[in-house]
Amino acid sequence: MDSSEKYSLFETKRDRGRHFRRLFSISVFVAICFIWAYRLTHIPTNHGLWAFLGLFAAELWSGLYWLLGQALRWNRVFRKPFHNTLSQRYENSLPGVDILVFTAEPVIEPPMMVINTILSVMAYDYPVEKLSVYLSDDAGSEITFYALLEASTFAKHWLPFCKRFKVEPRSPEAYFTIYVSSTPHDLNHAKDLAAIKKLYEDMKKRIEDAIKLGEIPSKARSKHNEFSQWDSYSSRHDHGTILKILLHPNDSHSKDVDGFVLPTLVYMSREKRPQYHHNYKAGAMNSLLRVSSMISNAKIILILDCDMHSNHSRSVRDALCFFMDEEKGQEIGFVQFPQNFDNVGKNDLYGNALSVLMEVELHGADGYGGPLFIGTCCFHKRDALSGKKFNNGLYKNDWNDENELIKANLQELEAESKALASCNYEENTLWGKEIGAIYGSLVEDVITGLWIQFQGWKSVYYNPTRKAFLGIAPTTLLHTLVQQKRWAEGEFQILFSKYSPTWYGHGKIKLGLILGYCHYNYWATTCCPMLYYSIIPSLSLLKGISLFPKMSSPWSIPFTFVILAESTSSLVEGLILGGTIQGWWNGLRMWLYIGTTSYPFAFIKVVLKFFGLSDFSYNITTKIIQDDVSQRYEKQVMEFGTSSPFFTILTTIALLNLFCLLATLKELPLSEGMGFQVLLCGILVFINFPIYQGLFLRKDKGRLPSSCAIKSIALALSSCILFKILN
């Protein structure tokens, strides 16, 4: 700790193992250069020239891409806030915080999940009069609104309960699940727990009944005239702004059972009309940014997806340590927390824990001026998100609230806020271009964070030991592949936009960060080496074309070294992060599956869009699954179930490798030069075991449909035969 850090509200530590890591990276890079050298010096003169050159191209790109990835490992930093110091200095002058929560689909984002998230953040350990929670509902669902109404009543009991017993986590559902088996020792606690649990269960039943019946109980409807806002609602794509301030300090009913004020709570469904593009979540963010500026106008904003509940009541204070630091806090535009999930299981079947991103790469980006904005679990300075530039020396944090401006009359406040969420508000403005969340990308988060950094702001990554947020990751193979496709598509498209880090970022953000962004931007392009590597070397076995050095030749050393170094280091990294060997193997499989399905589709989509032949669409990730699917997920059985072009590709590649391996084994012993190829083919077969099971061995509903089996057998066989004849 240097002397300036003594007064600081946070400290920054560098990765202690960096010298070793760097040495290791350099040695891998040297080996990669040797592989390139081998390709350059061993170009075959006749047999298999094209296959060989293709492999060279694949290795050239993989090597360069690997280099981009190193930028995210080179300079990792770790942050630690001092929340006690914050309290000592600023307890009475903490700034307001607006929490913006987003939902868009009541069926795949169930209202119960949404209100659990809402309740968890309403119960933050933070002065309530400074806390405002907003829900943006892009479906404009009456049921979601009804659930929020119920939550606003339940909060009157839940918040005092949380504070009295210092409850963690503060999402009721998560808390009750943890306490299901263990009753607290304290008698009062046990009594209150039983009472609050009953209130919760009753509320849950009312909401779930309303969902089942498809209508709001008439009692609630007659009691709350807000439902009349739905009278002119024709569909989720065509309705006026619906807005309701459910709780507000100016409203005398906004008190909890102990008589204390509750945080502000607002429901908003922005106006939607078919002739206006609504820009998905970015559009919702911008509407809510304006609406919140009218109602509470807090200087700090937390952006949260509806499935990410708070897991620690202190997180707001932790985030403020960065913003409020007298010296370094000025330039900090946003503080990103990791996106963690509570449903990935210990072996992480679909690689959804994103642990490399969360535990390694974002720390690396932080070392070069700031992590990416990943769309949720992120605290922003309102100034930075509203398009303001950071000018060193000119910009000064000012935490004084201007709440005096805010109207006392709630109806007037509602009416004025409504106008800010209308479709035509943004016409001829810079919203979505330079102000607020940036439009036109499927990863509105990344492009928005990039834009903020271009404006001179830094960002910070804080990864606390106790997870700050927990959400829901996809739980089927297809959902994962679709999500990954959306991300890769969005990332790749940034390169062709005017926000491209390579062109626009030059001189604005550090080179290390530009390379780091590129690592994600070029995700989709890795489909080329991936597809090539998983098809051509195996097919070449059929013709006896040798594409790698003999195992006994010294040229085999760099190949062996790269394979061993990369696989063991990822295994060790995984184990250190608390993973398992099985989890590592699953991750490897998903890397292959995503690279050969999500990425090629994303790649093609962006190229088509470039020529004006296609457009983007945002598929919202499903957060719930049927019971039988969920049981298979628990048992870590891979879920297929339907036919999809993604699955056809996967099964074709799996079968093709199986055929090639069988054909090769029949002809063993092979010439000595084929060792690497047989090994590669063997690993591909081994890793694809769940596919063969899904095709031939399983009987449950999650197996691969027979249509898929027929298609892929035909495709795999004909490619083998064609390759054999034509080459």
Ligand X SMILES: O=c1ccn([C@@H]2O[C@H](COP(=O)(O)OP(=O)(O)O[C@H]3O[C@H](CO)[C@@H](O)[C@H](O)[C@H]3O)[C@@H](O)[C@H]2O)c(=O)[nH]1
- Residues annotated as catalytic (active site), given as ranges: 138, 445
Beta carbon of residue 353, minimum distance to ligand X (angstroms, whole number): 13
CB 145 within 8 A of CB 267: yes
- Report which residue type is found at 43: I
Half-sphere exposure of residue 561: CA atoms within 13 angstroms, side-chain side: 17
Beta carbon of residue 471, minimum distance to ligand X (angstroms, whole number): 7
**Contacting ligand X (CB under 6 A), which of 149, 442, 460, 481?**
442
Stretch that binds Mn ion, among 65-73, 301-309, 604-612, 648-656 (CB under 5 A): 301-309
Q: Please give the residues from 584 up to 643 whose contact with Mn ion meets the rule CB under 5 A.
A: 621
Q: From the list Mn ion, ligand X, none, which binds 499 (C-beta under 5 to 8 Å, kind-based)?
A: none
CB 438 within 8 A of CB 444: yes
Beta carbon of residue 623, minimum distance to ligand X (angstroms, whole number): 7
Q: Please give the residues from 5 up to 44 whose contact with ligand X meets the rule CB under 6 A.
A: none
d(CA 470, CA 472): 7
**Contacting ligand X (CB under 6 A), which of 59, 138, 331, 489?**
138
Interacting residues of 239 by C-beta distance below 8 A, sequence separation 6+: 140, 230, 232, 233, 269, 271, 272
Residue closer to ligand X (CB basis): 150 or 444 = 444
**Contacting ligand X (CB under 6 A), which of 542, 618, 625, 673?**
618
CB atoms within 10 A of CB 131: 25
Nearest to 119 by CA among 27, 1, 186, 199: 199
**Contacting ligand X (CB under 6 A), which of 443, 531, 606, 684?**
443
Could you give the C-alpha distances from 194 to 119, 180, 183, 259, 583, in angstroms and in order? 18, 11, 10, 22, 38
Strands 378-381 and 332-336: antiparallel
Q: Tell me: does residue 306 bind ligand X (CB under 6 A).
A: yes
Beta carbon of residue 507, minimum distance to Mn ion (angstroms, whole number): 34
- Residue 396 backbone class (left: φ over 0; alpha: ψ -120 to 50; beta: rest): beta
Site string for Mn ion, 69-108 (x = CB under 5 A): ----------------------------------------
Q: Which single residue is written with the structure tokens 């993973």?
A: 579
Interacting residues of 577 by C-beta distance below 8 A, sequence separation 6+: 355, 359
Binders of ligand X: how many residues, by CB under 6 A? 24
Site string for Mn ion, 302-341 (x = CB under 5 A): ---x------------------------------------
3-state secondary structure 688-713: CHHHHHHHHHCCCCCCCCHHHHHHHH
Stretch that binds ligand X, among 54-62, 103-111, 169-177, 642-650 (CB under 6 A): 103-111
Q: Tell me: does residue 140 bind ligand X (CB under 6 A).
A: no
Residue closer to Mn ion (CB basis): 470 or 592 = 470
Q: From the list ligand X, Mn ion, none, which binds 528 (C-beta under 5 to 8 Å, kind-based)?
A: none
DSSP secondary structure of 296-355: T--SEEEEEETT-EES-TTHHHHHHHHHT-TTTTTTEEEEEPP-EESSS-TT-TT-TT-H
Q: Which single residue is written with the structure tokens 């509806």?
A: 306
Interacting residues of 5 by C-beta distance below 8 A, sequence separation 6+: 11
Q: Tell me: does residue 151 bind ligand X (CB under 6 A).
A: no
Beta carbon of residue 520, minimum distance to ligand X (angstroms, whole number): 12
Q: From the list Mn ion, ligand X, none, which binds 109 (C-beta under 5 to 8 Å, kind-based)?
A: ligand X
Residue closer to ligand X (CB basis): 264 or 339 = 339
Burial of 3 (0-12, 13-18, 19+ CB in 10 A): exposed
d(CA 288, CA 431): 12
Strands 340-341 and 469-471: parallel
Instruction: Report the DSSP beta bridge partners of residue 11.
Output: 80
Beta carbon of residue 342, minimum distance to Mn ion (angstroms, whole number): 13
Q: Please give the residues from 515 up to 554 whose contact with ligand X meets the rule CB under 6 A.
A: none
Nearest to 241 by CA among 108, 136, 149, 100: 136
**Contacting ligand X (CB under 6 A), which of 120, 254, 269, 376?**
376
Beta carbon of residue 140, minimum distance to ligand X (angstroms, whole number): 11
d(CA 336, CA 338): 7
d(CA 360, CA 367): 11
Residue closer to ligand X (CB basis): 384 or 687 = 384
Site string for ligand X, 323-362 (x = CB under 6 A): ----------------x-----------------------
Residue closer to ligand X (CB basis): 287 or 330 = 287
Of all residues in the shown chain, the one whose CB is closest to ligand X is 375
d(CA 343, CA 27): 37
Beta carbon of residue 16, minimum distance to ligand X (angstroms, whole number): 31
Residue closer to ligand X (CB basis): 376 or 546 = 376
**Contacting ligand X (CB under 6 A), which of 104, 118, 438, 513?**
104
Residue closer to Mn ion (CB basis): 108 or 588 = 108
CB 177 within 8 A of CB 116: no
DSSP state, residue 439? P
**Contacting ligand X (CB under 6 A), which of 10, 74, 102, 533?**
102
Residue closer to Mn ion (CB basis): 343 or 693 = 343
Stretch that binds ligand X, among 21-29, 323-331, 350-358, 616-624 (CB under 6 A): 616-624
Residue closer to ligand X (CB basis): 483 or 540 = 483
d(CA 647, CA 705): 10
CB 461 within 8 A of CB 334: no
Q: From the list ligand X, Mn ion, none, which binds 152 (C-beta under 5 to 8 Å, kind-based)?
A: none
CB atoms within 10 A of CB 661: 18
d(CA 268, CA 507): 40
Beta carbon of residue 376, minimum distance to Mn ion (angstroms, whole number): 7
Stretch that binds ligand X, among 40-48, 233-241, 442-450, 608-616 (CB under 6 A): 442-450
Q: Please give the residues from 460 up to 499 whose contact with ligand X meets the rule CB under 6 A.
A: 483, 486-487, 490
- Is 305 marked as a binding-site residue? yes
d(CA 443, CA 84): 36
Put the strands of the sheet holding 340-341 in their side by side order: 309-310, 469-471, 340-341
Q: Please give the residues from 276 up to 305 whose contact with ligand X meets the rule CB under 6 A.
A: 280-281, 284, 305
CB atoms within 10 A of CB 614: 13
Residue closer to ligand X (CB basis): 59 or 138 = 138
Interior angle at CA 161, CA 102 and CA 108, nearest 5: 25
Stretch that binds ligand X, among 101-109, 237-245, 515-523, 678-686 (CB under 6 A): 101-109
Residue closer to ligand X (CB basis): 138 or 331 = 138
- Is 489 marked as a binding-site residue? no
Beta carbon of residue 621, minimum distance to Mn ion (angstroms, whole number): 5
Q: Please give the residues from 106 up to 125 whose contact with ligand X meets the rule CB under 6 A.
A: 109
d(CA 550, CA 402): 74
Q: Tell me: does residue 375 bind ligand X (CB under 6 A).
A: yes
Binders of Mn ion: how many residues, by CB under 5 A? 2
Beta carbon of residue 82, minimum distance to Mn ion (angstroms, whole number): 31
Query: Under the rule (CB under 6 A), what is the footprint of ligand X?
Result: 102-104, 109, 136, 138, 280-281, 284, 305-306, 339, 375-376, 442-443, 445, 483, 486-487, 490, 618, 620-621
> Under the rule (CB under 5 A), what is the footprint of Mn ion?
305, 621
- Cite the annotated binding site by residue number: 109, 138, 281, 305
Residue ranges of the binding site for Mn(2+): 281, 305
